């Protein structure tokens, strides 16, 4: 079960606690460095450097919850809540703090407890739900901001520390390693490129700092995988490079206006690479180019394999989606790709995406690659479908309306994405010209 490290339960009334995970091999703790004399060195200097910039975020508010008293009268009802999370000071002079968007969701009153135990009110300046990042501001002095690292330089096996406020235990420190990079799929609607770590992350760590051994911020702790809700050794953090991009847009524009290249894509698999006669090909295959899109204007065609954006390698469809999605309309980008095995490069001018844009079907399910989908009045509308695609071969046609996936009704792209993600077979209930059809895509 995948769970965010949410802190929507009542915050525990606990004093300040500083804890360093025990240095034991095999339990996710980072061993201390050794001096020239092979004596253990403490991680305390790193903690002293980074910890003052980590704050305890307390929220109060009202949510619309579903009543469980009677399923026949299941109407939303207002419920008061109090929760807690963490935050990181990025700009001490202006009092700007980064946390997770889900930490302050529905909040009407927010306060921040600083490392010196001062409690100050905070306000939400801007939020971006799809990256799960929120920008807070406090009006006070004598703040300490955290130095920023470069998450693109992280490697699996690097030691990291997680600093936050799990279960209200303020300024708790745990240690571990980077377990994996580029994780996605926790929330298919979001832009994700998570750092996976085994440093202990629990309820209340959301929005806290993941730091390297220089005391630099390399990520914002966001989610855990757990069956119980407690730490299981699998936690996720938003890379600081993505945080910086979102932070800059929230600060300048008050929102993130995501860019659109205008392609359907999927990740090149080893089988694809073998079919192309080159085992070392990595990138995102263009399965469809939308009419009037930035990609069409730049000359990108179906079958091209995009390998880099602005000189930064693209190894997966998720990487391409994240990179383009964090650009703004009007940005010009250099797109490098392979066409019939030959490298090419073009410059595209990014257009603005909206929540109602057609789905990136390669990110939903490979069985839907080549089908252009959009939200409709009574389901998901098939706008176009390539004749050679699996969906077309199974019988899907333009103007079909998908109303259920694998026997579960869907009324939007979001619901279709949730039901189709990862499925090896898609049973699509379709309405076509007033008739009901079942189409099976394998």
Which CATH class name applies to 361-441?
mainly beta
User: Between 75 and 161, where is the model more confident?
Assistant: 161
Q: Is 171 a catalytic residue?
A: no
Q: Tell whether the torsion through CA atoms of 339, 344, 348 and 350 is positive or negative.
A: positive
CA-to-CA distance for 93 and 234, rounded, in angstroms?
Answer: 35
Catalytic residue among 102, 131, 308, 360: 102
By CB atoms closer than 10 A (0-12, 13-18, 19+), residue 276 is middle
Q: Where in the chain is the domain with CATH 2.40.10.10?
A: 151-253
Of 21-35, 176-190, 200-214, 284-298, least confident by mean pLDDT is: 21-35
Q: Average the pLDDT over 121-125 and give the result.
A: 95
Query: In which element (H, E) is residue 118 found?
Result: none
Q: What is the pLDDT of residue 246?
A: 92
The boundaries of every CATH 2.30.42.10 domain in the chain are: 259-352, 361-441
Average pLDDT over residues 27-42: 53
Share of the chain above pLDDT 90, in %: 38
Going from the C-alpha of 319 to that of each of 66, 84, 118, 347, 379, the distances in angstroms are 36, 31, 40, 18, 29
SS3 419: helix
| pLDDT per residue as tens digits for the range 305-318 | 899 999 988 888 88
Q: How far apart are CA 8 and CA 4, in angstroms?
A: 11
Give residue 133's pLDDT band: very low, low, confident or very high (50, 70, 90).
very high
Residue 13, pLDDT score:
29
Average pLDDT value for residue range 8-33:
34
pLDDT at 222 over 80: yes
Cβ(382)–Cβ(396) under 8 Å?
Answer: yes
Per-residue pLDDT tens digits for 78-106: 456 678 899 999 999 999 999 999 999 88
What is the topology classification, in CATH, of domain 259-352? Pdz3 Domain (2.30.42)
Q: What pLDDT, on the 0 to 100 scale, is given for residue 324?
A: 87
- CATH class of the 151-253 domain in this structure: mainly beta
Which H or E run contains 166? none
Q: Comparing 250-264, 269-283, 355-369, 419-433, which segment has the lowest mean pLDDT?
A: 355-369
Is 206 among the residues known to form the active site? yes
Residue 433 is given by DSSP the state T
Helix, strand, or coil (residue 253): helix
Q: Which of 51, 86, 131, 132 is catalytic?
A: 132
pTM, full prediction: 0.67
Q: Distance between CA 241 and CA 252 in Å, rounded?
A: 17
Contact 287, 386 (CB under 8 A): yes
pLDDT, mean of residues 384-399: 83
Of 51, 206, 287, 293, which is the active-site residue?
Answer: 206
Told to judge if 304 belongs to the known catalytic residues of this protein, a careful annotator would answer: no
- Per residue, what are the HEC states of 274-290? HHCCCCCCCCEEEEEEC
In this predicted structure, the answer to whether residue 131 has a pLDDT above a threshold of 60 is: yes
């Amino acid at each position: 079960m995948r769970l965010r490290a949410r802190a929507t339960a009542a915050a525990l009334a606990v004093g300040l606690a500083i804890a360093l995970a025990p240095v034991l091999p095999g339990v996710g703790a980072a061993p201390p460095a050794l001096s020239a004399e092979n004596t253990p060195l403490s991680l305390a200097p790193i903690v002293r450097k980074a910890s003052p910039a980590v704050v305890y975020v307390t929220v109060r508010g009202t949510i619309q919850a579903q009543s469980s008293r009677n399923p026949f009268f299941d109407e939303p009802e207002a419920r008061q809540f109090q929760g807690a999370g963490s935050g990181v000071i990025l700009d001490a002079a202006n009092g700007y703090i980064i946390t997770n968007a889900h930490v302050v969701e529905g909040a009407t009153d927010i306060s921040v407890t600083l490392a010196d135990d001062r409690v100050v009110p905070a306000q939400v300046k801007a939020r971006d739900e799809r990256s799960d990042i929120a920008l807070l501001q406090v009006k006070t002095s004598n703040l300490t901001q955290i130095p920023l690292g470069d998450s693109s330089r992280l490697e699996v096996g690097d030691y990291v520390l997680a600093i936050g406020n799990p279960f209200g235990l303020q300024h708790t420190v745990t240690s571990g390693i980077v377990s994996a990079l580029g994780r996605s799929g926790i929330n298919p609607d979001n832009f994700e490129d998570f750092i996976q770590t085994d440093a202990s992350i629990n309820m209340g760590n959301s929005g806290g700092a993941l730091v390297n051994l220089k005391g630099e911020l390399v990520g914002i702790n966001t989610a855990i995988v757990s069956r119980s809700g407690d730490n299981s050794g699998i936690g996720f953090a938003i890379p600081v490079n993505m945080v910086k991009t979102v932070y800059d847009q929230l600060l300048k524009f008050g929102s993130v206006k995501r860019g659109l290249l205008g392609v359907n894509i999927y990740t090149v698999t080893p089988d694809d690479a073998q079919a192309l006669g080159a085992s070392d090909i990595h990138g995102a295959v263009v399965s469809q180019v939308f009419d009037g899109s930035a990609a069409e204007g730049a000359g990108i065609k179906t079958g091209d394999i995009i390998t880099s954006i602005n000189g930064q390698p693209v190894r997966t469809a998720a990487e391409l989606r994240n990179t383009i999605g964090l650009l703004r309309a009007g940005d010009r980008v250099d797109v490098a790709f392979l066409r019939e095995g030959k490298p090419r490069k073009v410059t595209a001018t990014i257009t603005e995406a909206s929540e109602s844009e057609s789905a990136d079907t390669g990110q939903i399910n490979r069985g839907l690659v080549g089908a252009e989908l959009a939200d409709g009045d009574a389901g998901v509308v098939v706008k176009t479908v390539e004749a050679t695609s699996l969906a077309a071969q199974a019988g899907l046609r333009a103007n079909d309306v998908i109303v259920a996936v694998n026997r579960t009704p869907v009324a939007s792209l979001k619901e279709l994405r949730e039901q189709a993600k990862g499925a090896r077979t898609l049973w699509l209930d379709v309405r076509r010209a007033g008739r009901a059809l079942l189409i099976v895509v394998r």
